[in-house]
Amino acid sequence: MKILTGNDLKSGAVTWWDGTDWSLHVEHAVDAGEHGEAIIAREQALQNVTGAYVVDAEKTATGVRPGHIKEQIRATGPTVRLDLSLKPADRDAGNWVI
Amino acid sequence: MYQYDTYDQAMVDARVADFRDQVRRRLDGSMTEEQFRPLRLMNGLYLQLHAYMLRVAIPYGTLNSAQMHVLGDIADKYDRGYGHFTTRQNIQYNWIKLEETPDILADLAKVEMHAIQTSGNCIRNISSDQYAGAAADELVDPRPYAELLRQWSTFHPEFNFLPRKFKIAVIASDTDRAAMRLHDIGIQIVKNAAGELGAAFYVGGGMGRTPMIAPLVRDFVPLDQFVTYAEAALRVYNRYGRRDNKYKARIKILVHELGKDEYTRQVEEEFAHLLTQNIEPPLAELERIKGFFADPAFDTAAPDALDRSDPDFALWLDNNVAAHKQPGYAIATISLKPTGGIPGDASADQIRLMADLAERYSFDEARVTHAQNIVLAHVRKADLYAIWQALDAAGLATPNLDLVTDIIACPGLDYCSLANARSIPVAQKIAQRFSDLGRQRELGELKLKISGCINACGHHHAGHIGILGVDRKGVENYQLLLGGSEGADTSLGQITGPGFDEDGIVDAVEKATNVYLGAKQGDERFLDTYRRIGMAPFKEAIYAKEPAHG
């Protein structure tokens, strides 16, 4: 599946496209299919997100997981400061990359 | 230390106002990200892996306690309670909100600080020797020259859109503590045969994907011409640097492609022309600046004796305290490398504590080192025990300066959007593996440096042991380099061979140290032994097949 990630313009927080808005939680991410770039163009023009891009991901039994370690760390926060991470609802999220 | 005059302050205040307006326009949609990006970068604001990151300039790494307090307060008020000291002697914050950035810059401006030119293709923060003004081996304090260059390079209209970023270091001793020859321009203040001070120019060094050691292009430029010479060196680069290819745009490529002699010829020609233009700042300005860097009022009766009866204190003395030019004084380095910690990180409380110690015990001054530690440069020996006790209580008394656990590590893939692999966890695992201080001391000086990508922010090329993280088909992989050095004997590390996974690289480092201990002669450092015996024995041990079990 193809999911979308970017940063909230004001706060810089990592966000994920949930189909209607940008969520802080990767498990809310939806498959954008072939529409990723169009959604990004529209959403960036509306100032809802900045630095957005398309990410390969897979849907697992416990939720959506980005395919590459870079986006896995985006989703979970720095692996060396898990105390600062926005822990996703997926209780295994912090273990993806450790 | 230097204090702003009305021009400095007006420039910084104006920049805060400019940026506030730019942020407002970005947030209300009247400016696109494409338009805004170069403006935020000119103010040190990056968009990183998790959030905006703000890099604050600390000219030649020198801070007073008021400035350090503000740095700590920013960590608390606008970030998540900590800051990260960098290999460019700066500090950066990892969790910044765009809408709050103008307020942060305003807070910084109140204590004569800013984030100008900490990013972008311009002359970056000028670095220097963290022992400046305190070391017995320096000719003069190099910082007035660095400060003059800071003033010259700030908002320099000709050099605000260079082919690539540009880094300058200034030192004034033969013991290079600033990796001077790995800069775009390295300047060493020297004396000629007549006893006059001048500047030796090394041009075209750097790390990154194409590491090069800067060659000497001029061994003596009179001090009343040295800014002009820097201008000439930059002008040739600005004219002919490879703007067509980002990866070939640094000055090191130009010097390499032209050849040192041809590059030097062009600089000398430009220099001769510029001398007719009288662009050199008046020497009176240099003298004015020097006044800010005069020796503090040392206590000439300060005792030299030290009570070493506390063994932990004695260890710290032996590892982290260096000789000072003034009898009765010492230079103390505060390690930001606790075992298992994040190299270069300090909490807001730790930053404020270091500020208080600087104010009380070091003439209100601290230094950031390019190795991501903090220096109290002018400490009475009699005060060292009190300082150590305060540091120890705050987790800042790790006695490991220049030992294997005093690791330089870039933020890596934990924070950086450019990184290919994580650096910090590797540093933590190595620090854990070598946590026994006796073992560290047995290994002696061993500079280990880790970068999470080819950009080399962790200076891996210059590590006695260097580690480079790469992405191999989506998996983190770590290459090992041996034999790098950033000192007076600058050299570039060589890759041992195929890379390793995260645990494998820790094992490989340990094997390399075992080879050293087995082959070491006399007082040889790891680097000395490597240079004597070469790569082969290390390679053999590192890649030896494990014997089959059973």
Task: Report the share of chain B in percent with pLDDT over 70.
Answer: 99
Nearest neighbour of A14 by CB, restricted to B50, B414, B425: B50
Q: For B133-157, write each residue's pLDDT tens digit.
A: 999 999 999 999 999 999 999 999 9
B476 CA: distance to closest CA in chain A (Å): 8
Task: Name the band, by pLDDT with cuts 50, 70 and 90, for residue B264.
Answer: very high
All residues of chain A having their beta carbon less than 8 Å from the beta carbon of residue B98 are: 9-12
State which residue of chain B sits closest to A71, comparing Cα positions.
B49
Task: Give the pairing type, strands B475-482 and A2-7.
Answer: unpaired
The residues pairing with A54 across neighbouring beta strands, listed in sequence order, are A4
Tell me if B99 and A11 make a contact (CB, 8 A cut-off). Answer: yes
How many Cα atoms sit within 13 Å of B452 on the Cβ side?
22
The average confidence (pLDDT) of chain B is 97
Give the B window 314-353 contacts with A, CB below 8 Å. Answer: 342
Site from B46, B76, B413 to mutate, A interface, most A CB atoms within 10 angstroms: B413
Could you identify the residue written with the tokens 């082969």? B536
All residues of chain A having their beta carbon less than 8 Å from the beta carbon of residue B475 are: 69
Q: Is the ipTM of this complex over 0.90?
A: yes
Q: For B188-231, write each residue's pLDDT tens digit.
A: 999 999 999 999 999 999 999 999 999 999 999 999 999 999 99
Q: Is B359 buried (19+), middle (13-18) or exposed (0-12) by CB count in 10 A? A: middle
Give the B window 39-58 contacts with A, CB below 8 Å. Answer: 47, 49-52
Residue B148 one-letter amino acid: L
B108 CA: distance to closest CA in chain A (Å): 20
Tell me if B474 and A11 make a contact (CB, 8 A cut-off). Answer: no
All residues of chain B having their beta carbon less than 8 Å from the beta carbon of residue A47 are: 27, 29
Tell me if A69 and B49 make a contact (CB, 8 A cut-off). Answer: no
Tell me if A67 and B96 make a contact (CB, 8 A cut-off). Answer: no
Task: Name the band, by pLDDT with cuts 50, 70 and 90, for residue B545.
Answer: confident
Tell me if B50 and A77 make a contact (CB, 8 A cut-off). Answer: yes
Q: What value, to the nearest 5°, has the Cα angle with vertex A16 and ends A14 and A22?
A: 95
Secondary structure (DSSP) of B269-284: HHHHHHHTTT-SPPHH
Contacts for B340 with CB less than 8 Å, ≥ 6 apart: B428, B431, B432, B435
Helices (H) and strands (E) in chain A, counts: 2, 5
All residues of chain B having their beta carbon less than 8 Å from the beta carbon of residue A74 are: 49-50
Nearest neighbour of B33 by CB, restricted to A13, A44, A67: A44
Nearest neighbour of B49 by CB, restricted to A9, A73, A84: A73
Token representation of residue B466: 């260097």
Nearest neighbour of B47 by CB, restricted to A12, A44, A67: A12
Ranges of beta strands (E only) in chain A are 2-7, 14-17, 22-23, 50-60, 63-66
B357 within 8 A of B390, measured Cβ to Cβ: yes
All residues of chain A having their beta carbon less than 8 Å from the beta carbon of residue B472 are: none
Q: For B508-544, write each residue's pLDDT tens digit.
A: 999 999 999 999 999 999 999 999 999 999 999 999 9
Tell me if B98 and A10 make a contact (CB, 8 A cut-off). Answer: yes
Token representation of residue A65: 């997981």
Q: For B396-424, write each residue's pLDDT tens digit.
A: 999 999 999 999 999 999 999 999 999 99
Task: Give the pairing type, strands B168-171 and B127-128.
Answer: parallel
- pLDDT value at B550 more than 60: no
Residue A41 one-letter amino acid: A
Please report the pLDDT score of residue A61 as a whole number: 81
Mean pLDDT of B449-454: 97
Give the B window 108-167 contacts with A, CB below 8 Å. Answer: none
Tell me if B33 and A84 make a contact (CB, 8 A cut-off). Answer: no
Alpha helices in B301-377 (DSSP H): 311-320, 348-361
DSSP 8-state code for residue B11 = H
Sheet containing A22-23: order of strands: A22-23, A14-17, A2-7, A50-60, A63-66
A45 within 8 A of A11, measured Cβ to Cβ: no
Which SS3 state, helix, strand or coil, does residue B444 take? coil
How many whole angstroms separate alpha carbon B401 and alpha carbon B299? 27
How many whole angstroms separate alpha carbon B438 and alpha carbon B444? 10
Ranges of beta strands (E only) in B137-287 are 168-171, 185-191, 197-203, 216-222
B351 within 8 A of B71, measured Cβ to Cβ: yes
What predicted TM-score, i.e. pTM, was given to this entire model? 0.96
Please report the pLDDT score of residue B488 as a whole number: 85
CA B367 to chain centre: 11
Tell me if A81 and B428 make a contact (CB, 8 A cut-off). Answer: no
Torsional sign, CA B454, B455, B461, B467: negative
CB atoms within 10 A of CB A5: 23
Please report the pLDDT score of residue A91 as a whole number: 62
DSSP 8-state code for residue B493 = -
Q: Is B288 buried (19+), middle (13-18) or exposed (0-12) by CB count in 10 A? A: middle
Asked if A42 reaches chain B (Cβ–Cβ under 8 Å), the answer is no
Q: Which helix (H) or strand (E) segment is B294 a member of?
A: none
A81 within 8 A of A44, measured Cβ to Cβ: no
Tell me if B96 and A12 make a contact (CB, 8 A cut-off). Answer: yes
State which residue of chain B sits closest to A12, comparing Cα positions.
B51
Asked if A24 reaches chain B (Cβ–Cβ under 8 Å), the answer is no
State which residue of chain A sits closest to B53, comparing Cα positions.
A12
CA-only gyration radius of chain B, Å: 23
All residues of chain B having their beta carbon less than 8 Å from the beta carbon of residue A14 are: 49-51
Q: Which helix (H) or strand (E) segment is B93 a member of?
A: strand B91-96
Q: Give phi and psi for B30, each to the nearest 5.
A: -85, 0
Task: Name the band, by pLDDT with cuts 50, 70 and 90, for residue B548.
Answer: low
All residues of chain B having their beta carbon less than 8 Å from the beta carbon of residue A70 are: 49, 413, 417, 419
Ranges of beta strands (E only) in B301-340 are 321-323, 329-334
Tell me if A70 and B413 make a contact (CB, 8 A cut-off). Answer: yes
Q: For B272-291, write each residue's pLDDT tens digit.
A: 999 999 999 999 999 999 99
Residue B529 one-letter amino acid: T
How many whole angstroms separate alpha carbon B128 and alpha carbon B178? 6
B133 within 8 A of B143, measured Cβ to Cβ: yes
Tell me if A74 and B26 make a contact (CB, 8 A cut-off). Answer: no
How many whole angstroms separate alpha carbon A81 and alpha carbon A62? 23
Task: Name the band, by pLDDT with cuts 50, 70 and 90, for residue B487.
Answer: confident
Q: For B71-128, write each residue's pLDDT tens digit.
A: 999 999 999 999 999 999 999 999 999 999 999 999 999 999 999 999 999 999 999 9
Q: What is the dihedral of CA B521, B527, B530, B533, to 10 degrees?
A: -40
Please report the pLDDT score of residue A90 as a whole number: 58
Nearest neighbour of B414 by CB, restricted to A44, A67, A80: A80
B125 CA: distance to closest CA in chain A (Å): 25
Token representation of residue A74: 């985006």
Which SS3 state, helix, strand or coil, does residue A67 take? coil
Which SS3 state, helix, strand or coil, does residue B212 take? strand
Torsional sign, CA B55, B56, B60, B61: negative
pLDDT one digit per residue (tens) for chain A, 98 residues: 999 999 999 999 999 999 999 999 898 999 999 999 999 999 999 999 999 999 999 998 878 999 999 999 999 899 999 888 765 555 666 666 65
How many whole angstroms separate alpha carbon B512 and alpha carbon B541? 7
CB atoms within 10 A of CB A82: 13
Q: For B4-47, write each residue's pLDDT tens digit.
A: 999 999 999 999 999 999 999 999 999 999 999 999 999 999 99
How many whole angstroms separate alpha carbon B396 and alpha carbon B417? 29
All residues of chain B having their beta carbon less than 8 Å from the beta carbon of residue A66 are: none
Please report the pLDDT score of residue A95 as a whole number: 66
Nearest neighbour of A50 by CB, restricted to B33, B95, B475: B33
Please report the pLDDT score of residue A84 as a whole number: 82
Please report the pLDDT score of residue B346 as a whole number: 98
